[in-house]
Structure 1
Amino acid sequence: MFFSVVIPTYNRLPILQKCLRALENQQIPSGSPISGYEIVLVDDGSTDGTLNWLQEEAAEFPHVRSHLQNHQGPAAARNLGVEKASGDTIIFIDSDLVVTENFLQAHAEALTQADSDRVFTYGRVINTCNFDDPTSEPYKVTDFSAAYFATGNVAISRHWLDKAGLFDTRFQLYGWEDLELGVRLKQLGLKLIKCPDAVGYHWHPPFALAQIPNLIDKEIERGRMGVLFYQKHPTWEVRMMVQMTWLHRLLWGILSVNGLLNERTMAPFLQWLIDQNKPQLALELARIFLNWYNVKGVYAAYSQLNNS
């Protein structure tokens, strides 16, 4: 099999450098089912000099094939990546993911050991804020994901993507474009195979209060895209995923005390946790009001849709 690793990127140059170097450092043993691989990087209109840097350092990245598009979001970027890819098997990762040296081999072994062609593999994603040594982070309970199809670390035969119809480019805001494609793949009968040996370390900066306005905006965007997701697939399963149920309104309404626990009232305690070198715990507690914003966002978008 020939792998095409499709990576959309937008203004992520420092961590992208680590991402690409890790992919160039893959160990592929003799007898591997991998005949070769390429890295298809799609720059989604970055303004941080991503492609200029890559041109200057081209000798270090012989596997990289880069493409540029105007800023249209990750769905369009991944579609372009698949269109330009040469491989029969596509691996999707994000540009802030740093993989281990046996990453490609682990995906290949899991795919070849499957008893059916109607499968895809989903690797392990470990969240870290350690920029200097991201792969030193241990696996944590909070790293567990029950997602069926998430593009942070997944390998799939290209023909299934073509059959499903690729990503819906109407998902231009934050969230759901990969899980929506997952619904269509599930309808085709594809089975998820967990591949814990294909490890990627998802880097993000340590949580700080200054990030909160952007995180709130993302939750509101995720609510709006959740309504689009539900429009396409009006099922109870999708309602649960996008938190558009009375259960979620009740849960996050209670936990946030109907919004009384918010970015202003919780700020002193969150800052205290950050000062105690516990930014991850602070972020998990901030999710109380972030999820409340998401639930309110999805219902506001749904109401607007019904009234239009």
Structure 2
Amino acid sequence: MAIRYSVIIPTYNRVQQLLLTLASFETQTYPKHLFEVIVADDGSTDGTKEMVEGFKASYPLIYVSHPEQRGRSAVRNLGLRRAKGLYIIFCDADFLVLPDFIRIVSRYHRKYPKSVLSGIPHSWDDAFTHYHPDFSPEEKEHCRRILTQSGLWNSDFEAANEIIPIITTEDILHHTGALSKVVSPTRVPPNIKKQFATTDVAPWLLLITRCVSIRRSQLIRIDGFNERFVLYGLEDWDLGYRLHRLRVPFYSIKEVVGYHQEHPTYLRGNVLNTENLKIMFETYGFNDSSLNLLALVPPSADLEVYKSTLRVLHRGFRSKLTRSSALLLRRTLRLAAKQFFYQKNNPAYQKSLNLIKRKAANRKSRVAHVLREMLLKSEKLVE
């Protein structure tokens, strides 16, 4: 039978975590001849190639690589070119999947065959599978607290110079129960999780490549990831935005399907890279308020304000009483995005903001209130 799911795992110098992730695919309850795993290596120098090629997988396992690092977009596209499945699952090298992972994804795709399925926000929990000597002091304390509760903490960890495994492949393969002892519930507030799961505005924010499944034909239609995104940040939301423009629906998987293997925060990079946001404005222009708003309210910093602003804007256009305020809000977001992009000390920008401010001064609607908030943020772009 043909491969139905191609799991693409991009990686760069994550050999210890990747080993456990590959082991977790050994435990899948979904038929192993119906999925393949493609490790797309972005020039690792830590023995990733030797580990993957020596891994005795019971499922089809493919290794592809760049000779040197080219970035997350390019390496995911490298894996995509080798994929044969009807659906592509992007899965991070540090995402430890549970046994029913692909079976659950398959069940959702039977119900939503042409949709993007995201493991976010219900699979945001962390697992301390390794102790990293370069954890920050706060991360070390968090790790110590979680491991102490389960009796796995060893004071010798604090003197370690190398990464120490807490969970082994044997624990994964034989379901020893050790994994459940190192899980740390996500510190993402419930209201933020709820906002991610709702898709009434900016549903493309659900496309987070820690765990997401997409029809391969849809990815091919939009030419995969934009390889202009080399630095960390926004390459996944850019892909989601382009799929959204094709009217592809987005759904959140409600079950927990895996755990993120905790590692030092600095490895994640800058969540909202300003140069990458400029690429988005250069690519799509300034006609979409959901993009323009990124210049003032990054969702990674305040998702509630980001989404509530869009909702207020949309509702404002539905009423004659608030339509003029909605138009002013839309104009403000457009002006701010252009200022963010061009970063010029243009007196006309402040003059335009002052004009909008005067028009909004005595209005009492919710739209006008949000408008004044966005005007204040817009003024800070020239400070």
Normalising by structure 2, report the TM-score: 0.57
| 2:61 is the counterpart of 1:64 | yes
1:303 maps to 2:343: yes
Q: Deviation at 1:182?
A: 0.7
Counterpart position of 2:350? none
Instruction: Report how far residue 205 of structure 1 moved.
Output: 2.3
| Map of 1:97 onto structure 2 | 95
Shift of 1:152: 1.1
- For the pair 1:166 / 2:224, whether they are aligned, the reply is yes
SS state of the match for residue 196, structure 1?
coil
Contact 2:8 2:39 in 1 (8 A): yes
Give the 5 Å matches for 1:193-212. 193-197=251-255, 199-205=257-263, 211=266
Gaps of 5+ in 2: 130-165, 168-178, 197-204, 303-337, 347-383
Q: In 1, are the aligned partners of 2:206 and 2:252 still within 8 Å (CA)?
A: no
2:115 aligned residue: 119
**For 2:290, which of 219, 237, 259 is the aligned residue?**
237
Residue identity in the other structure for 1:17: L
Q: Does 1:25 align with 2:27?
A: yes
1:10 is aligned, of 9, 12, 20, to 12
Q: Which residue of 1 aligns with 2:52?
A: 54
Cα separation, 2, equivalents of 1:10 and 1:197? 28
2:277, 2:125 → 1: CA distance? Answer: 24
SS of aligned partner of 1:142: coil
Map 1:129-208 onto structure 2 (within 5 A).
129-131=127-129, 132=166, 136-137=182-183, 139-140=185-186, 142=188, 144=193, 146=196, 147-197=205-255, 199-205=257-263
Paired residues of 2:40 and 2:78 also in contact (CA < 8 A)? yes
CA contact (8 A) 2:53 2:63 kept: no
Q: TM-score, normalization: structure 1?
A: 0.70
Please tell me whether the aligned partners of residues 28 and 102 of structure 1 are also in contact (alpha carbons under 8 angstroms).
yes
Report the alpha carbon displacement of residue 198 of structure 1 after superposing the two structures with TM: 5.2
Q: How far off its partner does 1:163 sit?
A: 1.3
Counterparts of 1:220 and 1:301, CA distance in 2: 18
Amino acid at match of 1:232: T
Q: Which residue of 2 aligns with 1:282?
A: none
Count of equivalent residues? 241
Distance verdict in 2 for CA 1:48–1:299, change over 3 Å? farther
Tell me the C-alpha RMSD between the 2 structures.
2.9
User: Is the 1:224–1:301 Cα contact (8 Å) retained in structure 2?
Assistant: no
Cα contact 2:40–2:65 (8 A) shared by 1 = yes
Distance 1:173 1:221 in 2: 10
| Structure-2 change in CA distance of 1:62 and 1:111 (3 Å) | closer
Instruction: For 1:199 and 1:42, locate their aligned partners in 2 and report how far apart those are by CA, in whole Å.
Output: 22
In the TM superposition, what is the alpha-carbon distance from 1:109 to its structure 2 partner? 0.1
Aligned residue for 1:197, secondary structure, equals coil
Q: CA deviation at 1:79?
A: 0.6
Tell me if structure 1 keeps the 8 A contact 2:33–2:59.
Answer: no
Aligned CA distance change for structure 1 residues 76 and 153 (closer, same or farther; 3 Å): same
How far apart, CA to CA, are the structure 1 residues paired with 2:76 and 2:187?
Answer: 29
Equivalent pair of 2:105/2:117 in contact (CA under 8 Å): yes
For structure 1, list consecutive stretches of 5 or more residues without a partner in the other structure.
Answer: 253-297
Offset at residue 223 of structure 1 (A): 1.7
Match of 1:223 in 2: 274
Which runs of structure 2 are paired with 1:286-301 in the superposition (5 Å)? none
Provide closer, same or farther for how the CA distance between residues 62 and 105 of structure 1 changes in structure 2, counting only shifts above 3 A: closer
The whole-number CA distance in structure 2 between the counterparts of 1:299 and 1:198 is 41
Q: How far did residue 148 of structure 1 move?
A: 2.6
Q: Is 2:23 aligned against 1:42?
A: no
Separation of aligned partners in 2, 1:302 and 1:221: 17
Q: Once the two structures are superposed, what CA deviation does each residue of 1:77-101 show, in whole Å capped at 9, x if it has no partner? A: 1111111011111000110110100
Structure 1's 173 and 141: CA in aligned 2 closer, same or farther, altered over 3 A? same
Cα shift readout 1:264-289 (whole Å, capped 9, x = no counterpart): xxxxxxxxxxxxxxxxxxxxxxxxxx
Distance 1:28 1:140 in 2: 27
Q: What is the deviation of 1:112? A: 0.1
Residue 166 of structure 1 and its aligned partner are, at CA, apart by 0.7
The structure where strand makes up a greater share of residues is 1
Q: In 2 relative to 1, CA 141–48 (structure 1 residues): closer, same or farther, beyond 3 Å?
A: closer
Q: Percent identity?
A: 26
Distance change (3 Å), C-alpha of 1:6 and 1:299:
farther
Query: Do the aligned residues in 1 keep the contact of 2:281 with 2:341 (CA within 8 Å)?
Result: no
